[in-house]
Chains A and B, each alone.
Chain A
Amino acid sequence: QVQLQESGPGLVKPSETLSLTCTVSGGSISKDYWSWVRLPPGRGLEFIGYIHYSGSTNRNPSLKSRVTISVDLSKNQFSLRLRSVTAADTAVYYCARVSDIPPSRFYFDYWGQGTLVTVSS
């Protein structure tokens, strides 16, 4: 059973960089796609981006200029960096696996429990 766990600071100051790591257990990160999704308070889920174990990434166009996603195969982890944060980036951040086993493709089958990140001075 694949399990994901987010970790990182729960409080980030405006204009600084939000950094989160997702640790994958029960399976290898060296397959499939791995993603970040967030849930701002009072709003709906928002796709942030994903990374393939090969290192290729794709990001939500509205966040693309501020987002970096990376993978560390040796640690079975992938990470999110979101630059120049504002209060609008306050959200619960989830990491999730994107299943891609043709012909069934492109759905989020395993999720972390989520971590609340608050942007405030």
Chain B
Amino acid sequence: QSALTQPASVSGSPGQSITISCTGTSSDIGGYDYVSWYQQHPGKAPQLMIYDVSKRPSGVSNRFSGSKSGNTASLAISGLQPEDEADYYCTSYTSSSTFVFGGGTKLTVL
């Protein structure tokens, strides 16, 4: 299984909005509404930010939102804050009953 495709980096200024894309195939993203997103700060464990494409766990800011169209999922972050600077990973359940991650996107808050 090939990794999902994410941009290597994105950046934005405080208060701005950004979107991170995650492209897969009909065997993963396109076939299931089981896309999730994780935030990872250096030296820390990943933290769940979005599950089931667009649902937010309790405690996650409503500045984070998710969506999906066809084989591509997206994570949007509005009102960027310095603490949003981190690596972000998408993942999807697959037709092989496994999971596949994206390569990760480094978000820089300028």
Contacts and interface: CB of A to CB of B under 8 A. Distances in A.
B69 interface: no
Nearest to A112: B45
A47 B102 contact: no
Nearest to A108: B48
B45 A59 contact: no
Given A44-B104, A94-B45, A58 B38 contact: no
Interface string B68-110: 0000000000000000000001010100111111111000000
Contacts, number: 73
Interface string A72-99: 0000000000000000000000101001
B45 A114 contact: yes
A47 B34 contact: no
Nearest to A56: B97
Contacts of B89: 44-45
Contacts of B64: none
Contact of A44 (B3, B32, B47): B3
Contact of A58 (B36, B55, B98): B98
B1 to A, nearest CB: 6
A47 B91 contact: yes
B15 interface: no
Given A45-B104, A47-B101, A107 B45 contact: no
Nearest to A114: B45
Contact of B101 (A45, A49, A103): A45
B91 to A, nearest CB: 7
Given A35-B99, A58-B98, 11 more contacts: A44-B101, A45-B46, A47-B99, A47-B101, A49-B98, A58-B96, A60-B98, A62-B1, A94-B45, A107-B51, A111-B47
